[in-house]
Amino acid sequence: MENRNSEQNGHRLARADSHDSYTASEFINSQLQLEADAREALPYAFDHCTQPLGPLRQNLFSCLTCNPPPKSPSDLYTPAAVCYSCSIACHGEHELVELFNRRNFTCDCGTTRLPATSPCTLRIDPATGVKGPVHSQPAAEGNTYNQNFRNRFCGCGELYDAHTEKGTMFQCLGLAGEKDGGCGEDWWHPECILGLERNQLQAKKTEPLLEPTHDSSGNGPETTAEQQEDEDHEDEALPPGFPAEDDFETFVCYKCVDSNPWIKRYASSTGFLPPVLKNDEKILDGHPKLDTDELANTTPLVHQQGIDAAPNGNANSSSPKSHSTPSAPTNTLKRRAEDDEESHDPTQSKKTKIETNQHCYYESLPMPEPATLSLFLKEDFRDHMCRCANCYPNLRKHPQLLEEEESYEPPLSEEDENRRGSVGTGSLLDRGEAALNNVDRVRAIGKSRVPSS
């Protein structure tokens, strides 16, 4: 009896081991699938820090593990951000906040802004001539920081939680930093641009429009699939008074407008939507907003005054490179408007162009309203900004107004012939080696990341 029990236990153990085991082929195939998933999520190579390249417009990440922000926004804090490669290779197991593209920024990894216990493993140590670890180097003096680096966003200064945040946030073009009264390319909630309280908007959303229906037992309200879909859509809907996303390309928040009051005059001109006022009484009172076309018809536009609305000096806009980022949430990005397909008569444009240094297009624009407002800019707004001798100095301070910005992208991950041939072809040994060579990339897909707005 004892021997039979032992044999039965042995058979059961063997069957369990057989059930949980994998063949070498199955294991390698699973690794190759992880590799493919990782390559899709992290398409760019992460073996070089961008610090040697100097200031760039690039995708940044703030590490909350290395630099925990204080509880109070007024407390002293040393902000820092790292490039895409360092976010994976040096801070891949840390809590990160993705800030998306910021201009003129040099990676802070391996500098005095981050603890020496989190060195940069990608740069060459000048003391040894060996790659990494590098720490305590002087930080770049030209970097500018705002509240986003401590995970606070928008004019409301709210802590961002990617798991609870709903709807779309919009990034300001950034005409001034926080020290100069601007926002420094902050991300904004639509309701905060209008001067609405976030809980005020939520309260309006939760107000029942109809009497709730009850289930067949009469015990309580019944929520249908259609009602749930409407509620989900309502969470993402823009508040009344906010322009439709397809009507504008970017925007300048009221903080940056107040720091550059000269730009107010472009409101409602060609290339610009009508001004969006903060604390507009009509919106606060719940009155329905006029649509963009109706507002445009009621606003004295430049072309109605018999003056051309296309100043000389078209921007040399080059198509920006796509800036897909790892773990980029789709609900946080401002969608790019479709290209304008309207055809223009070149002979008519030639007749009506304003010659530089002869006429000031800006002076023909109506005086701005004495109100706090944000500007929403169409895709071609740069073509309609005056570049006469008097106005050009204002534009020169803000290159993003002169031409469309290009953002740096790391090179795509290279796939040599052996790696391409390892999937489904080649010997088992070759396929195994290909999977093992990509173990770092496979691990990277599982590292903790905190997506941002």
Q: Residue 233: its pLDDT value, please? A: 53
Q: Residue 372: its pLDDT value, please? A: 96
Q: Residue 21: its pLDDT value, please? A: 65
Q: Residue 322: its pLDDT value, please? A: 34
Q: Residue 30: its pLDDT value, please? A: 83
Q: Residue 227: its pLDDT value, please? A: 53
Q: Residue 311: its pLDDT value, please? A: 42
| 102-116, 202-216, 365-379, 398-412: least confident range | 202-216
pLDDT higher at 11 or 344: 11
Q: Residue 219: its pLDDT value, please? A: 55
Q: Provide the phi-psi class of 195: left if phi over 0, else alpha when psi is between -120 and 50, else beta.
A: left
Tokens of 88: 């994976």
Which stretch, 5-19, 290-304, 389-403, has highest mean pLDDT? 389-403
pLDDT tens track for 277-326: 998 766 666 544 444 444 444 333 333 223 333 343 333 333 333 333 33
Interatomic CA distance for residues 100 and 85, integer angstroms: 14
pLDDT for 53 beyond 80:
yes
* Residues of the chain above pLDDT 90, percent: 49
Residue 307 contacts residue 370 (beta carbons within 8 Å): no
pLDDT higher at 439 or 281: 281
Q: Residue 34: its pLDDT value, please? A: 80
pLDDT for 158 beyond 70:
yes
Q: Residue 174: its pLDDT value, please? A: 97
Interatomic CA distance for residues 287 and 281, integer angstroms: 9
Strand bridging mode 187-188 / 170-171: antiparallel
pLDDT tens track for 202-224: 555 544 444 444 555 555 555 55
Tell me how many degrees the CA angle 344-346-348 measures, rounded to the nearest 5.
90
Question: In the 8-state DSSP scheme, what is residue 99?
Answer: E
Name the one residue in this structure whose structure tokens are 């804090």. 77
pLDDT for 79 beyond 70:
yes
Residue 45 contacts residue 414 (beta carbons within 8 Å): yes
pLDDT for 427 beyond 50:
no
